[in-house]
Amino acid sequence: MRRMDVIANNIANASTTAFKRERVVFQDYLFEMKGEGPKDLRQVQMVLDYGVVPDMKNGELNPTNNPLDVALDKEGFMVVENDQGERLYTRNGKFQVSVAGELVTQTGERILGTNDQPIRINPEDVNIVISDDGTIRSDLGEIGQIQMIQFDNYQGLERRGDSLYFTDRPERPAVGLRLVQGALEGSNVNPIQQVTNMISVLRSYQSMERSLNDYSEMRDGAVDRLSRVQA
């Protein structure tokens, strides 16, 4: 059921900008349980839902020719800040200029520069050029530099909606990560593959359900026969 939920969410976001498909990580859990005798122990094995991991493989880059649209060419994130001052991360580079003159996401989160401050763009700044290292320039000169970071481990990223992530894992400055101006990254979800995975999960679920029903019928039959013998 957990896998089915994740696959369904992947399919629902097949057209979401910069969406990263997810997969569930399971872990075997072994422990000992007392048996019938005081010294009898038996090993019990269970499966734990360990977490969800995003697949950071790049989606296709789609040209938009909008100077404020940017896409990342490798794994990593841009840093944003919401109204509560919370530090968040995104790969959705569809930016705009707010009424306050700040570079923001479509939902209003401020894009942070390498100095951890919002990037301000004045009305006089025209012919915006964003270099592959995130440096923003206009006819009036350099405006700022978009902060890009990477993680050593992407497990544990918490989705916050609107293509935003949160984590308390340590970040590091991006290495070998480039920005592409005038383009947006597409979702890396392959709908056909995800539907195939959904069918596989459904069949596994149905097989397990049949096994449980068979076991229940065997148990009921044994109880019925035992009650007749005792009678």
Q: Which pLDDT tens digit goes with each residue over 2-35?
A: 889 999 999 999 999 999 999 888 777 676 766 6
Q: Does 223 fall in a domain?
A: no
Classify residue 76 as left (phi > 0), alpha (psi -120 to 50) or beta: left
Q: Which pLDDT tens digit goes with each residue over 158-216?
A: 888 889 999 999 999 999 999 999 999 999 999 999 999 999 988 887 887 888 787 78
Instruction: Give the residue from 74, 66, 67 showing the smallest Cα distance to 91.
Output: 74
One domain for residues 36 and 104? no
One domain for residues 40 and 145? no
Q: Does 67 fall in a domain?
A: yes
pLDDT at position 37, please? 62
One domain for residues 81 and 173? yes
What is the rounded CA–CA span in Å between residue 179 and residue 131? 7
One domain for residues 132 and 194? no
Residue with tokens 């509560």: 84
Q: Which pLDDT tens digit goes with each residue over 111-142?
A: 999 999 999 999 999 999 999 999 999 999 99
Q: Does 221 fall in a domain?
A: no
Q: Does 11 fall in a domain?
A: yes
One domain for residues 144 and 45? no
One domain for residues 34 and 127? no
Q: Does 227 fall in a domain?
A: no
One domain for residues 46 and 117? no
Residue 60 predicted with pLDDT over 80: yes
One domain for residues 65 and 175? yes
One domain for residues 119 and 42? no
Q: Are 22 and 10 in contact (CB under 8 A)?
A: yes
Residue with tokens 């592409």: 180
One domain for residues 10 and 102? no
Give residue 159's domain range: 61-185
One domain for residues 180 and 68? yes
Q: What total of structural domains would you count in the chain?
A: 2
One domain for residues 150 and 43? no
101 to 106, 123, 137, 151: CA distances (angstroms): 14, 8, 15, 30
Q: What is the mean pLDDT of the chain?
A: 89
